[in-house]
Amino acid sequence: MNNVIFNDMDESIGYYKDLAKGYKELIEDAVKREDYEEAQELIEQVQDIDEYKDYEGLLVLSMNNGMGFTCKKYKEK
């Protein structure tokens, strides 16, 4: 994914438009490989991201150490 930062906490940080574009590319690739289970998981994740389509700030995507996907607004530490 272009313009997306991947950190050592297994998080992805980026703007909605870049994250959504990257997910669409990943979904297309999974469908081409006929990996429909992965495509479905990615679709569910991009649906969570779509809740922020009008938000202009950075978003943080996390798999929460295998405990489930979350998308939230970036907060400086």
Ordered by start, the domain boundaries in the chain are 5-73
Enter the pTM of the model: 0.85
Please classify residue 33 by burial: count the beta carbons closer than 10 Å to its beta carbon, then call 0-12 exposed, 13-18 middle and 19+ buried: exposed
Query: Is pLDDT above 80 for 77?
Result: no
pLDDT, tens digit (0-9, with 9 covering 90-100), for 6-63? 888 888 999 999 999 999 999 999 999 999 999 999 999 999 999 999 999 999 999 8
| Whole-number pLDDT of residue 24 | 94
